[in-house]
Amino acid sequence: MLLNLYHQLRRRLPLFHQRMIVLSFSLLVVLLAWPQPRSVNLKLSSLLFAEGLMFSQRQSHLLASDDWLARWQYWVQPAAAEDPYLKMYDIVAGDSLSRIFQRFGFGYSQVQRIMAADESLLALDILRPGNRLTLQLDEQLQLLSMELYIHAGKRVLYQRDDSGEFSYQELIDEGRWQSDILLGEIHGSFYVSAKQAGLTDFDIANINQLFRERLNFRRDIQAGAMLQVVRSDNYVGDESTGLSRIEGVRIINRRQTFSAFLHSDGQFYDEKGESLERAFSRYPLQRQFAVSSAFNPRRLHPVTKRVSPHNGTDFRTPIGTPVLAPADGVVTRIENHPFAGKYIEIQHFGSYKTRYLHLDRFLVKRGQQVNRGQRIALSGNTGRSTGPHLHYELHINNRLVNPMTANIPLARPVPAESRAAFAERVSFLTDLMLQQSLLARQPEADNPTAPQ
């Protein structure tokens, strides 16, 4: 009936009005079909700023499973029982810890104490929709402990000790990795074709980065070139953690194949074992400065005198020393923290992330692409600091490592001792892609009436 009315109106109305009607009608359809605020779409939008976390579409199906229902009931029950000592809060876009604490009636000193505990982790600095806080209160309704749920594989527990200070503990479930083979044909834009094959923006940015020195995506890919990708997604139980990594990529032109494979050292090489990484500098500085405090997960904090991990390397840099990006990447955080001071985070392509704390001045903006060697900031003495220095952190696969000793890309071929293992992996992944693309072609042959 609605459609009938629409067609009648259409015949009588001028073009402009027709367009307005079509527009409002489509808007109505979009609004009706718009997902609930906590759906996957919202998480997808935090794309590059999600520290490489991508929430796969699959999650939306899993949410409906019985398993999830059981877990949901488990979470909801304590709240339904009106336990006055237990509070739960689901993060919405734009939330900050101090605003949430205000809502629960906690004073600023409690925020300060939690922030102090979080100084070396900085997990509470960026809260995202999908994160959840569970707060346990004491008899005076003061905060006893707090759990930050980041995803199914990662929670952080902040606990108060007898002195009233908080310390943190990361609760990590490695889960399992499940591989998927994604196939596509490239016509026109590589981006659009790759999206159609099921790749995420993050995957595509990584592939662009991997081949950027060998391949001009606009010029060198022929129409009809094949795209084959093996991607692994991380699950804890049936729930996606949003962590995902590319295991292998092949772009097959008529005469030439571009390939990239992830090796056990966390770096990408082509099928011959030549590195696709760009070298990563060991120091984020123009010259070496003395190390005033080394990476030490069991350090005594110089100010608080309690055991608190030192998650980076401190260089004794005078205020105003230029800080350089050790590799190409995208600036994902520009923040000012009461304890970490002014700090920057850079997501490098692949599995690397770096942080720079206690800065004096930022020279880049959030979202900005940076190149290796580019000045990103001037070092300083901001936040809780015992003197001018640069605190430098390196994260590989979201794990903190010692920046002075960790395995960083040196842009060298696969080391001789792991060549055989690498070759085996390459042929395994290549076979997977081949089998899958043969399978994908079969239905067409069996069913000649299938649309082209």
Tell me the DSSP string of 331-381. EEEEEEETTTEEEEEEEESSSEEEEEEEEEEE-S-TT-EE-TT-EEEEEB-
Contact between 342 and Zn ion per CB under 5 A: no
Residue 414, Ramachandran bin (φ over 0: left; ψ between -120 and 50: alpha; else beta) = beta
Which parts of 302-331 interact with Zn ion (CB under 5 A)?
312, 314
Least gap, CB of 314 to Zn ion (angstroms): 4
DSSP-based helix, strand, coil % in the chain, nearest 5 = 30, 30, 40
Q: Per CB under 5 A, which region of 157-165, 210-218, 387-395, 399-407 contacts Zn ion? A: 387-395
Least gap, CB of 339 to Zn ion (angstroms): 11
| Cβ nearer to Zn ion, comparing 266 with 302 | 302
CA distance 106 to 120: 23
Residue with smallest beta-carbon separation from Zn ion? 391
| Cβ nearer to Zn ion, comparing 212 with 282 | 282
Contact between 391 and Zn ion per CB under 5 A: yes
x/- track of binding to Zn ion for residues 256-295 (CB under 5 A): ----------------------------------------
CA distance 33 to 351: 36
Least gap, CB of 338 to Zn ion (angstroms): 15
Least gap, CB of 391 to Zn ion (angstroms): 3
| Cβ nearer to Zn ion, comparing 263 with 355 | 355
| Cβ nearer to Zn ion, comparing 270 with 314 | 314
| Cβ nearer to Zn ion, comparing 149 with 295 | 295
CA distance 276 to 412: 9
In the structure encoding, which two tokens stand for residue 401, read together? Answer: 């490592």
Identify whether the C-beta of residue 392 lies closer than 8 Å to the C-beta of residue 312.
yes
Identify whether the C-beta of residue 252 lies closer than 8 Å to the C-beta of residue 228.
yes
Q: Per CB under 5 A, which region of 152-160, 294-302, 388-396, 410-418 contacts Zn ion? A: 388-396
| Cβ nearer to Zn ion, comparing 43 with 389 | 389
| Cβ nearer to Zn ion, comparing 200 with 382 | 382
CA distance 340 to 342: 7
Least gap, CB of 158 to Zn ion (angstroms): 20
What's at 226, amino acid-wise?
M
Least gap, CB of 84 to Zn ion (angstroms): 40
Least gap, CB of 390 to Zn ion (angstroms): 8
Least gap, CB of 51 to Zn ion (angstroms): 20
Which parts of 429-448 interact with Zn ion (CB under 5 A)?
none
| Cβ nearer to Zn ion, comparing 203 with 314 | 314
Tally of helices (H runs) and strands (E runs) in the chain:
10, 20
Characterize 51-76 residue by residue with b for buried, 16 or more Cβ atoms within 10 angstroms of its Cβ, and e for exposed.
bbbbbbebbeebbeeeebeeeeeeee
Least gap, CB of 316 to Zn ion (angstroms): 11
Q: How many residues bind Zn ion (CB under 5 A)?
A: 3
Q: Per CB under 5 A, which region of 17-25, 217-225, 244-252, 386-394 contacts Zn ion? A: 386-394
Which parts of 86-145 interact with Zn ion (CB under 5 A)?
none
| Cα 327 to the center of its chain, rounded Å | 18
Sheet containing 166-172: give its strands across. Answer: 86-90, 132-137, 143-151, 154-160, 166-172
| Cβ nearer to Zn ion, comparing 118 with 314 | 314
CA distance 273 to 419: 8
- The dihedrals phi and psi of 408, each to the nearest 5 degrees, come to -115, 155
| Cβ nearer to Zn ion, comparing 284 with 312 | 312
Q: Per CB under 5 A, which region of 79-87, 144-152, 216-224, 384-392 contacts Zn ion? A: 384-392
Least gap, CB of 284 to Zn ion (angstroms): 13
Residues near Zn ion (CB under 5 A) are: 312, 314, 391
